[in-house]
Amino acid sequence: QVQLVESGGGLVQAGGSLRLSCAASGRTFGTYAMGWFRQAPGKEREFAAAISWSGTRYYAASVKGRFTISRDNAKNTVYLQMNSLKPEDTAVYSCAADFDPPSPVIATIQQGDYDYWGQGTQVTVSS
């Protein structure tokens, strides 16, 4: 089993920044991909960003240019640096791990491909 624990959420004004972290523990071996997804109130969970084991990055159009995903494989931790935050970025942000990606250089943006999920951390952006 793998446990994912997010941290770094909070309340920030529009235009501000936050950095989310997600630490993985347990059976964390293999070339797994990591992703960040978010769910706004009254909406379905959606893809935000993903990163392959080797560091290939993927972003949703709504966050590209403002968010940066990164990872430290030695620490089994993935990060999401969020800049120029907007009120529409308000959501619960969850990290996820995919332990069976097609390749170490590929990460999927499909929620169903992820095997493990964290509990989520709230991000609230005030206008």
- Condensed to tens digits (0 to 9), the pLDDT of residues 8-20 reads 999 999 999 999 9
Parallel, antiparallel, or unpaired for β 33-39 and 18-26?
Answer: unpaired
Enter the tokens of residue 90: 């308000």
> pLDDT digit string (tens) for 23-42?
999 988 789 999 999 999 99
